[in-house]
Chain A
Amino acid sequence: MNNQDIASIRGIIRGNRRWDLIFAVAGFLALTVGVLAFVTLFGQMVINGWERLNPDFFTSFPSRRAANAGILSAWVGSLLVMLVTALSAVPLGVAAGVYLEEYAPKNLVTDIIEINVTNLAGVPSIVYGLLALGVFVYMFGFGQSVLTAGLTLGLLILPVIIVATREALRAIPVHVREGAYGCGATQWQVVSDHLVPYATPGIMTGVIIGLSRAIGETAPIITIGALTFIAFLPASPISSTAPFINFDWLWSGFTVMPIQMFNWTSRPEEAFQQNAAAAGLILVLMTLLMNALAIWLRYRLRKSIAW
């Protein structure tokens, strides 16, 4: 091999290496766009809304005077709706996921169901709102209540939880299943003692992604008829007299954070824009908090699993 050949080979290598650099730069720029956009948005909310973030903001009802207006009914509403959403969607979603992955026979029908579940995850949220308006509000007569909103958002995130459950189950090594069956365990014992506990971290991730999506949803909530001005809280779920818990809050009217924000942004007074920014900041923090909780839970649960 003469010098000329070596030089030309080095040339080829240099040329190919250049692509490494070009892609690294392009990838970095792509990342910057996303990060910068978020930082700008978040920064602007902090700057605009910072002044309004005091304890009163969390304990006041909406008001025509921007300085007195707060998000009490909105954050309580959001919290209660999320509670119903989680309680309805998690058991249904996990059960459906386990069935599809572990019990369902592999045939055309289950294939069709699978495709549908995946597609449902991409259906625009307003469609769920319309469905809920017909089914929950009018057919079942639940009215414009916390229950309706929670179930609607539950439906919305059901596909996310089903898909996450299945992914988590699939990630469990086959030898865990086979080992358990080999010891004579029934399918139910395998599922309840091994598969679901091991899949929990993955399922949690799906649940939190779902809830984070649900908490910011506005369209389906408006469709079912959430209120804008509500200056009282739903009845407390815990009471001092027997039977100690009550479910009146499920039937109460409500508003949620995104609706409160939207209402404030469309006000003529400048001061309401500050309120909107502050409410937005709280909403982002609520989502971040939920994500942090998920990561922490996942970490803790993963630590206790040893295959």
Chain B
Amino acid sequence: MKRTVLASAFLALAATSVQAESLVKVDGSSTVYPVTEAVAEDFQKSVKGEIKVTVGISGTGGGFKKFCRGEIDVANASRPILKKEMEDCAKEGITYYELPVAFDALTVVVNPNSKITQLSVAQLKKMWEPDAQGKVSNWNQVDPSFPDAPLNLFGAGSDSGTFDYFTEAINGKSKASRGDYTASEDDNVLVQGVSRDVNAIGYFGYAYYAENQGKLKAVAIVNAKGDAVLPSEKSVIDGSYNPLARPIFIYVSAKALERAEVRQFVDFYMKNAPALTSEVKYVPLPAKAYEANMEHMKSKKLGTVFGGHADVGVTIEELISREAKL
């Protein structure tokens, strides 16, 4: 009897001790993760551990689910919020700021010994569109001037935001892709594959190319103006590397932003993002974009500027000036 009383006392004690401490919860995309992780690491050091930050990886979609249930303060997102997710947030009364934090440049890579140096969107489409499945299997089918060699494709697995964006930008429809290629959610597998096969071509985030430049060759992409452009910090910022450059975001709950610790964290994020994004091999936005983010939070510019669907090849200037809505 005595023991059960003691045990239940402990349980009660345990249950009441869920205290409100200074904790900022972030979750979402694995693409945005390295940036937020770097910010969280330095932020905790700068406040001497008085504010704690946790970052999870449950994917952009998983992050928004938690965000719209009010379980987390900040959502990492490698694509804009979708219609369905906007509705979920509205239902729970969650309002938010959409803050672009960096660019991710999807990079098309080939083996260093490959003769390919540039590709157009139309050529990429010929390789990757759903109709190519089982039919396009030789480089010279893509372009007669290309070598007569098997076309070995390596690409992102269908659960990743990279896959969503690439298919949207190249094939015109998100998730529309041929299925007969070597797919992996782990980009390192793709790096290995392309670096060992002279006839291979693959795509993934710029950071993986930057880290493996010796083993891979980036392909210049012919943009809307007809110039072949290699991915680089400069070409991404000035918008000439398109359509494969995309902004990545954090979404901050307006209600959470009223808490001092969240405010401090987001301010720190905007101030230090340029240096930290470069360090983790992402392309920072121009300085005025971060200032605009701060401005938008001050003027309570709530909501998304995308209206629930992903646009391809939007410049950062356009993003800043667009009207946002919930």
Q: Is the CB of A228 within 8 A of B33?
A: yes
Q: Is the CB of B17 within 8 A of A227?
A: no
> Contacts A266-B187, A268-B187 known; A64 to B55 CB distance under 8 Å?
no
Rounded to whole angstroms, the CA-CA distance of A251 and B23 in the bound complex is 13
Distance in Å from the Cβ of B193 to the closest Cβ of chain A? 15
Q: Is the CB of A268 within 8 A of B13?
A: no
Taking the complex as formed, is B52 at the interface, i.e. its CB lies under 8 A from any CB of chain A? Answer: yes
When distances are taken between beta carbons in the complex, the residues of chain B under 8 Å from A230 are 54-55
Taking the complex as formed, is B211 at the interface, i.e. its CB lies under 8 A from any CB of chain A? Answer: yes
A232-252 contacts to B, CB under 8 A, are 232, 243, 246-248, 250-251
Taking the complex as formed, is B172 at the interface, i.e. its CB lies under 8 A from any CB of chain A? Answer: no
Residue-by-residue, is B253-282 near A (CB-CB < 8 Å gives 1, otherwise 0)?
A: 000000000000000000000001001110
Q: Is the CB of A227 within 8 A of B210?
A: no
Number of A interface residues at 8 Å Cβ cutoff, please give it: 29
Q: Is the CB of A64 within 8 A of B279?
A: yes
Taking the complex as formed, is B208 at the interface, i.e. its CB lies under 8 A from any CB of chain A? Answer: yes
Taking the complex as formed, is A116 at the interface, i.e. its CB lies under 8 A from any CB of chain B? Answer: no
Distance in Å from the Cβ of B132 to the closest Cβ of chain A? 28
Distance in Å from the Cβ of A287 to the closest Cβ of chain B? 24
When distances are taken between beta carbons in the complex, the residues of chain B under 8 Å from A157 are none
Q: Which of B37-45, B108-116, B315-323 contacts A (4 or more CB under 8 A)?
A: B37-45
Rounded to whole angstroms, the CA-CA distance of A246 and B27 in the bound complex is 28
B195-210 contacts to A, CB under 8 A, are 205, 207-208, 210
Q: Is the CB of B49 within 8 A of A232?
A: yes
Q: Is the CB of A231 within 8 A of B41?
A: yes
Taking the complex as formed, is A202 at the interface, i.e. its CB lies under 8 A from any CB of chain B? Answer: no
Q: Is the CB of A64 within 8 A of B211?
A: no
> Contacts A266-B30, A268-B207 known; A246 to B58 CB distance under 8 Å?
no
Q: Is the CB of A253 within 8 A of B54?
A: yes
Residue of A227, A263, A265 near B54 (CB, 8 A) is A227
How large, as a class, is the contact surface on chain B? 35 or more
Rounded to whole angstroms, the CA-CA distance of A228 and B63 in the bound complex is 13
Distance in Å from the Cβ of B161 to the closest Cβ of chain A? 14
Q: Is the CB of B188 within 8 A of A250?
A: no
Give the residue among A222, A247, A250, A268 with the most B Cβ atoms within 10 A: A268
**Smallest CB-CB separation from A232: which chain B residue?**
B52
Residue-by-residue, is B60-99 near A (CB-CB < 8 Å gives 1, otherwise 0)?
A: 0000001000000000000000000000000000000000
Q: Is the CB of B188 within 8 A of A265?
A: yes
Q: Is the CB of B53 within 8 A of A231?
A: yes
Taking the complex as formed, is B34 at the interface, i.e. its CB lies under 8 A from any CB of chain A? Answer: yes
Taking the complex as formed, is A20 at the interface, i.e. its CB lies under 8 A from any CB of chain B? Answer: no
Taking the complex as formed, is A216 at the interface, i.e. its CB lies under 8 A from any CB of chain B? Answer: no
Taking the complex as formed, is A196 at the interface, i.e. its CB lies under 8 A from any CB of chain B? Answer: no
When distances are taken between beta carbons in the complex, the residues of chain A under 8 Å from B19 are 248
> Contacts A268-B187, A268-B212, A270-B211 known; A64 to B17 CB distance under 8 Å?
no
Distance in Å from the Cβ of A68 to the closest Cβ of chain B? 9
Taking the complex as formed, is B291 at the interface, i.e. its CB lies under 8 A from any CB of chain A? Answer: no
Taking the complex as formed, is B5 at the interface, i.e. its CB lies under 8 A from any CB of chain A? Answer: no
Q: Is the CB of A64 within 8 A of B280?
A: yes
> Contacts A227-B55, A228-B33, A268-B207 known; A63 to B49 CB distance under 8 Å?
no
Taking the complex as formed, is B14 at the interface, i.e. its CB lies under 8 A from any CB of chain A? Answer: yes
When distances are taken between beta carbons in the complex, the residues of chain B under 8 Å from A99 are none
Distance in Å from the Cβ of B58 to the closest Cβ of chain A? 7
Taking the complex as formed, is B56 at the interface, i.e. its CB lies under 8 A from any CB of chain A? Answer: yes
Residue of A144, A227, A253, A265 near B186 (CB, 8 A) is A265
Taking the complex as formed, is B57 at the interface, i.e. its CB lies under 8 A from any CB of chain A? Answer: yes
Rounded to whole angstroms, the CA-CA distance of A210 and B228 in the bound complex is 58
When distances are taken between beta carbons in the complex, the residues of chain B under 8 Å from A269 are 211
When distances are taken between beta carbons in the complex, the residues of chain A under 8 Å from B18 are 251
When distances are taken between beta carbons in the complex, the residues of chain A under 8 Å from B146 are none
Residue of B10, B55, B66 near A229 (CB, 8 A) is B55
Q: Is the CB of A248 within 8 A of B17?
A: yes
Rounded to whole angstroms, the CA-CA distance of A263 and B185 in the bound complex is 12
Give the residue among B53, B57, B191 with the most A Cβ atoms within 10 A: B57
Distance in Å from the Cβ of B45 to the closest Cβ of chain A? 9
Distance in Å from the Cβ of B223 to the closest Cβ of chain A? 25
**Smallest CB-CB separation from B184: which chain A residue?**
A266
Q: Is the CB of A228 within 8 A of B57?
A: yes
Taking the complex as formed, is A226 at the interface, i.e. its CB lies under 8 A from any CB of chain B? Answer: yes
Rounded to whole angstroms, the CA-CA distance of A160 and B38 in the bound complex is 41
**Smallest CB-CB separation from B191: which chain A residue?**
A268
When distances are taken between beta carbons in the complex, the residues of chain B under 8 Å from A220 are none
Residue of A63, A247, A253 near B14 (CB, 8 A) is A247
Distance in Å from the Cβ of A207 to the closest Cβ of chain B? 22
Residue of B14, B27, B280 near A250 (CB, 8 A) is B14
Q: Is the CB of A247 within 8 A of B52?
A: no
Residue-by-residue, is A138-167 near B (CB-CB < 8 Å gives 1, otherwise 0)?
A: 000000100000000000000000000000
When distances are taken between beta carbons in the complex, the residues of chain B under 8 Å from A247 are 10, 13-14, 17
Q: Give the interface of B toward A (CB within 8 A).
A: 10, 13-14, 17-19, 25, 27, 30, 33-34, 36-38, 40-41, 44, 49, 52-58, 66, 185-188, 191, 205, 207-208, 210-212, 276, 279-281
Q: When A and B form their complex, which 4 residue pairs have the shortest distance between CB atoms, in order from nearest? A: A247-B14, A229-B55, A268-B211, A64-B38
Instruction: Pick 22 A–B contacts, CB within 8 A, sort by A.
Output: A62-B37, A64-B37, A225-B56, A227-B27, A227-B56, A228-B33, A228-B56, A228-B57, A229-B33, A229-B40, A229-B55, A229-B56, A230-B54, A231-B40, A232-B52, A250-B14, A251-B17, A251-B18, A253-B25, A266-B187, A266-B188, A268-B205
19 additional contacts (CB under 8 A) given A225-B56, A263-B57: A62-B41, A64-B37, A64-B38, A144-B56, A225-B27, A226-B56, A227-B55, A227-B56, A229-B36, A229-B37, A231-B41, A247-B10, A248-B14, A266-B187, A267-B34, A267-B188, A268-B188, A268-B211, A269-B211
